[in-house]
Homo-oligomer: A and B are copies of this chain.
Amino acid sequence: MAVETIRWQGPCPGGHVALIEQTLLPGRAEIAAIHTLAEMIAAIRRLAVRGAPAIGVAAGYGLVLALQELGEAPTERFRERLSSAKAELAAARPTAVNLAWALARTAGKVECMPLDTPSPALLAALFSEAGAIASEDAAQCRRMGELGAELIADGSSVLTHCNAGALATGGIGTALAPIYVAVERGKRVHVWADETRPLLQGARLTAWELSEAGIEVTLITDSMAAACLASGRIDAVFVGSDRIARNGDVCNKIGTYGVAVLARRHAVPFYVVAPLSTFDPDVPDGASIPIEERAPEEVTEGFGPRTAPAGVGVWNPAFDVTPAELVTAIVTERGILEGPDRAKVEALLRDAGRI
C-alpha cells in the first residue's frame, strides 16, 4: 500500500534503478530511471533519494550500476573500478552513515572473494548483496510496523514529525510503518503531520505518501502541535530517529524534542521507531551527539522569496535530542524497548552482538 521508493528494474547486467524523484514532490510524482553511476551520484546529491536507509539501498545499487557499465572486464579492472566507484559514491553525501555502511558491505562481499574470480561472478555477488540490503531493510520496516501496530488502537489519531516513511527507506518506513500495518489490519487511523520547518518534509513527503496510500492525513504547522495535543485530538506520537545514544536519548529532526515535551504534558505516549542500526554504542548520551547546523537560507528563503530582513542572524540546527525519560518506548525490529534507559539499551545491543 505504501509507495515504493527505490527498486532494481530488469536483470543484472542490463537493468537499472527506478526511484521516486523526490525533488518534484509533492507537485509531481515521477519515476527517475537511473542507468549509470554518475546518474546515481547526481540523484543522491540533489536529494531525489533521501532518508538514511533509502540512501543505503541506493548506494549498493550505485556500485552495481558502475560495474555493469564495465561489461565483461578483466577481474583486475573490475576491482579497480569497484574501488573508485565506492569512493565516488561515498563523497556524494559524506555525512550519511548508511551510505558508508552499505558501500562497505556490498564492496566487502566482493573484496573477500578469490582474486581469480571472473568479473561476471563478482558482479553477481555484488548485485546479490545490494539486493539483500534492500530486502533486509524492507523486512526490518515490516517487522517494526507489525510490532508498532499493536500500539495503535482502532480509531486512533497519531501525530508524526518529519518524514520517516516509505520515502525514507527501502520498505514501509520506520515511524510510519506501524500506521501502514495498522491500516492493513483494518484499523482506522488518522495521521496529523507536522509540516517540519525548515525543509517541510512533513508537508512535502509525509502528507504525500500517506495520501497516496489512501490514509487520512491532516497537515499542521509545527507551532500547532501544542494546541492539537491540548485539544485531545492525539492518541499517540510516532517519530523516527537519526541516532540513538547508549542511554536511550534520541536524536531526530529538529522539533522532535518539543513534541516529546508536549506529549508528556498531555499524557500522550511518545514512540520512537528505529532499527537497531540507528543505535550508536559509541555515544554515551544525547549531549555527546554532534548537531549539524545548516545554512541560514533554509530558514530565510525556504519558500522561494526571502521572508526575513537581509543580514538577520539565523540559528539552524538540523536535529535535536529527546531525553530517554520522555520516550514511552522504542520500537525496533528486535522488539519494543519500553521506558528505554542505559541498562535496557545495552541489553538489546548485547543480544544483537552490537557490543
Give the complex CA separation of A203 and B303 in angstroms. 13
Question: Is A302 engaged at the interface, CB distance under 8 Å to the other chain?
Answer: yes
Question: Is A255 engaged at the interface, CB distance under 8 Å to the other chain?
Answer: yes
Beta-carbon contacts under 8 Å, A87-131 to B: none
Question: Is A204 engaged at the interface, CB distance under 8 Å to the other chain?
Answer: yes
Is B261 in contact with A227, judged by CB distance below 8 angstroms? no
Is A300 in contact with B230, judged by CB distance below 8 angstroms? no
Name the B residues within 8 Å of A204 (CB-CB): 307-308
Is A312 in contact with B211, judged by CB distance below 8 angstroms? yes
Name the B residues within 8 Å of A228 (CB-CB): 315
Is B313 in contact with A303, judged by CB distance below 8 angstroms? no
Shortest CB–CB separation between residue A59 and chain B, in angstroms? Answer: 28
Is B207 in contact with A308, judged by CB distance below 8 angstroms? yes
Beta-carbon contacts under 8 Å, A217-234 to B: 217-228, 230
Is B255 in contact with A207, judged by CB distance below 8 angstroms? no
> Is chain A's binding surface mostly helix, strand, loop or mixed?
mixed
Q: Which of A140-148, A190-198, A239-247, A341-349 contacts B (4 or more CB under 8 A)?
A: A190-198
Give the complex CA separation of A64 and B19 in angstroms. 64
Copies assembled: 2
Given contacts A304-B304, A308-B204, contact A223 B255 (CB under 8 A): yes
Question: Is A334 engaged at the interface, CB distance under 8 Å to the other chain?
Answer: no
Give the complex CA separation of A300 and B27 in angstroms. 12
Is B227 in contact with A299, judged by CB distance below 8 angstroms? no
**A317 contacts which of B224, B254, B262 (Cβ < 8 Å)?**
B224
Give the complex CA separation of A225 and B234 in angstroms. 22
Shortest CB–CB separation between residue A67 and chain B, in angstroms? Answer: 37
Name the B residues within 8 Å of A312 (CB-CB): 207, 211, 217-219
Size of chain A's interface in residues, with CB distance under 8 A?
A: 57
Shortest CB–CB separation between residue A336 and chain B, in angstroms? Answer: 26
Is A198 in contact with B218, judged by CB distance below 8 angstroms? no
Shortest CB–CB separation between residue A222 and chain B, in angstroms? Answer: 4
Name the B residues within 8 Å of A262 (CB-CB): 258, 261
Shortest CB–CB separation between residue A240 and chain B, in angstroms? Answer: 15
Name the B residues within 8 Å of A310 (CB-CB): 26
Contact with B along A199-218 (1 / 0, CB 8 A): 01001100110010000111
Shortest CB–CB separation between residue A156 and chain B, in angstroms? Answer: 16
Is A227 in contact with B257, judged by CB distance below 8 angstroms? yes
Name the B residues within 8 Å of A299 (CB-CB): 195, 203, 219-221
Closest to A258 in B: B226
**A315 contacts which of B26, B224, B255 (Cβ < 8 Å)?**
B224
Shortest CB–CB separation between residue A283 and chain B, in angstroms? Answer: 17
Besides A218-B315, A224-B254, 16 more A-B contacts (Cβ < 8 Å) are A25-B309, A194-B223, A195-B197, A203-B307, A207-B308, A217-B312, A218-B314, A219-B313, A222-B223, A223-B254, A226-B258, A227-B257, A227-B320, A230-B257, A303-B304, A304-B305
